[in-house]
Amino acid sequence: MEKILIIDDEAFIRENVERILQEDGYSVLGAASGREALEQVGDEDVDLVLLDLNLGPEDGIEVLKELKQFDPELLVIIITGFGSVESAVDALKLGAFHYMKKPFKADALRVIVKLALQTQSLKREVRNLRKGDVELFEKVPMVGASPAQLEINRQVREIARFPASTVLITGESGTGKELVAKAIHHLSDRREAPFIEINCASIPVNLLESELFGHEKGAFTDAVQRKLGLFEEASKGTIFLDEVGEMDPAMQAKLLRVLEERRIRRVGGTRNIDIDVRVIAATNRNLKKSIKEGGFREDLYYRLNVFPIRIPPLRERREDIPVLATFYLEQFNRTFSRGFQEIEPAALDLMRRYDWPGNIRELKNAIERICIMHSGPCLKPDHLPHELTQQNGQDMLTTQQWATELVLGLEEATERYESALIRQALEQTGGNVLQTAQLLKVPRGTLRYKMGKYGL
């Protein structure tokens, strides 16, 4: 049961809010002052705080600072009268989750409290993932809480115990095949040796053999000196053959021989060289289909497929989307110092609905782009790429979003959408103010005023 603390010096307000929230099944505590509140936060595991900025002789902003100093992760919703809206905005800059104007309706309070607790639950899930699989997470951030991701984590830990077995990782582009390969390496006894990767599709056919196996001086026109191949450079470690399904049939035969004999011969060389490497291969192709079509050797497939790991696309494990989004928001927020603290549930809902054809890579790039273009404290639906907000050609404004807008009030909701419309128009015109004004059918001076107002 979530525990909520109400800080207000007026007893009838505390009692009224307590009654509303208890009806929804929350455990509710009350405090009449900042000092009393800090004592309660120290003694109780509080999930959310409702803080009135007008606490008689006390300054609510100072109480907020003390609460955040005690627990930076604590979510605080500010309660404010009309005259102290400016202070509420200052509170948001200090890390408050949201603010509500007095007087507020019971339904509005319920919506904001629910959104805040959903956000808190998500952040705790990411922290628990870090704690629960700390060894794996410290080496490679395998983020996700779906049964599919937890099974992948289990498989990674299991195969890491057997440092000689080959691994075949399959999955669509952008699902994180390289990340899984690195995790296997870093958890294995080979972790101190090199992890070397090569994309088989990016190397011309006539150069791939030399890249993998090396060459002797004079082996071909440009071979002015001996060159070690990646199999030798990865000695005692791991070699990761990405996009192995694109490999030329002649190279497939040579790779098969290497895997069977555990030795290589440099191009132009006359002697075999023993190797000690683990081979991890990955592909986004259906290799069984390629075998039937004659594009991939069946014997090589079974040699690589000693330990198969399939990574499902993101659309098949949508429960991982909020966790991944929160993880990458924290990462890029630190990188770009943008002040993001939360993802608005309406934005998370849009993310869950989207199919993410580019999978985790697309999600990561979207969050990075948001952190470059926008600032916090809250990632909102209008920050998201156009394809998420206009899925299937329809405006994906959710019921939850409408509820949020009702809480915000007409003026603030109108400003939010006006800001989003101007931002989209600026993106469409490449930032040209005159063209944007013409597109929006407003005078240029009006547009400049609006851009300054919204910080665009």
From residue 139, alpha-carbon distances to 130, 131, 156, 234, 294 in Å are 11, 13, 12, 19, 39
d(Cα 454, Cα 456) in Å, to the nearest integer? 6
Report the pLDDT value the prediction gives residue 411, as an integer from 0 to 100: 52
Report the pLDDT value the prediction gives residue 125, as an integer from 0 to 100: 65
Contacts of 33 (CB under 8 A, 6+ apart): 7, 9, 55, 56, 58
Task: Work out the number of other CB atoms within 10 angstroms of the CB of residue 126.
Answer: 18
Report the pLDDT value the prediction gives residue 230, as an integer from 0 to 100: 95
- pLDDT of the chain, 456 residues: tens digit per residue: 789 999 988 888 889 899 999 988 899 999 988 889 888 888 888 889 999 888 878 888 888 888 888 888 788 888 877 556 667 677 777 778 877 887 778 888 888 888 788 777 777 666 655 554 555 555 667 788 788 988 998 899 899 989 888 999 999 999 999 999 999 999 899 989 999 999 999 998 889 999 999 999 988 888 889 999 999 999 999 999 999 999 999 999 999 999 999 999 999 998 999 999 999 999 999 999 999 999 999 999 999 999 999 999 999 999 899 889 988 998 898 888 888 888 887 888 889 889 999 999 999 999 999 999 998 788 988 899 988 887 655 555 544 454 444 444 545 555 666 777 787 778 777 788 888 888 777 787 778 877 877 777
**Pairing verdict, β 58-59 and 54-55:** antiparallel
Structural tokens at position 254: 């040579």
Report the pLDDT value the prediction gives residue 174, as an integer from 0 to 100: 94
**Pairing verdict, β 273-274 and 263-264:** antiparallel
Report the pLDDT value the prediction gives residue 126, as an integer from 0 to 100: 64
Q: For the chain, how big is the Rg over CA atoms in Å?
A: 28
From residue 58, alpha-carbon distances to 8, 9, 14, 63, 169 in Å are 11, 10, 17, 8, 60
Report the pLDDT value the prediction gives residue 137, as an integer from 0 to 100: 53
Report the pLDDT value the prediction gives residue 407, as an integer from 0 to 100: 46
